[in-house]
Amino acid sequence: MSTTPTSTRVALVTGGSGGIGSRVVERLAHDGIAVAIHYAGNPARAQDVAAAVTAVGGRAITVGGDVADEHAMAAAFDAVEAELGGVDVVVNTAGTMTLGPIATFDLDALDRMHRTNIRGTFVVSQLAANRLRPGGALINFSTSQTRGQLPTYGPYAASKAAVEGMTLVLARELRGKDVTVNAVAPGPVATPLFLDGKDEATVAHFATVVPLERLGQPDDVAEVVAFLAGPGRWVNGQVLFTNGGLA
């Protein structure tokens, strides 16, 4: 572990080149936080996000690895500590979503999704629990579908319910370490993860059921993450449903 002193807070954002992840990166950088942009399979996209941060005076690096591989992610944390001096914020936006009815859902697809969403979140949370500096924050990602009960979302909701469970327990286990642990649970957000495979009528329906009568935008979610990563120190062990009032 690097012991290089730094006065700048440092964040590692898994899935940092994705639709929500990239906006989280840019929002944290706006607050003066140095950011490490994690990617699994698209280093060029991660480099583009890093370039956007550095172009406006921020500091950014990229790190790769499978979030479910504890050795790869330990190496990613090592790289962040060596380059930026430590880790103060970990944001787990990395995730995957496959939809289908429970009665006929392909179990191999279930295993693949749960490997990223459950094991991946567990691996990164475990590392964060041991690496975050005092005053740090771990922010995991759930979904509003853990209480939405929409057909075809069962397998995905199950994976994210597990994320909520581990998040709430870890917040209590880190008593005395001055580290907050929370989860953000977005509703429908206009990203490729949500939009892929949906026709215009379906997308329009999701917009109308939200009391604010629109889909969320990545910036809406990034603002909540920035609050938890910075001033929201009295929020701990919570799931914040960021969904425009969707039940």
Question: Over 167-229, what HEC string results?
Answer: HHHHHHHCCCCCEEEEEEEECCECCHHHHCCCCHHHHHHHHHHCCCCCCECHHHHHHHHHHHH
Only one residue has tokens 């603002």, namely 223
Contacts for 218 with CB less than 8 Å, ≥ 6 apart: 19, 20, 22, 23, 24, 189, 190, 191
**3-state class (DSSP) for residue 66:** coil
Q: Which residues are CB-neighbours of 37 under 8 A, at least 6 positions away?
A: 13, 16, 17, 21, 22, 25, 46, 49, 50, 60, 61, 62, 63
Selecting among 122, 141, 156, 206, the annotated active-site residue is: 156
Query: What is the C-alpha separation between 157 and 143, in angstroms, rounded?
Result: 7
Dihedral sign from CA coordinates of 141, 209, 206, 114: positive
Measured distance CA(13)–CA(24) in Å, rounded: 8
CA–CA dist 244, 247 (Å, integer): 9
Based on the residue annotation, tell me whether 39 is a catalytic residue of this protein: no
Question: What positions carry a catalytic annotation?
Answer: 156
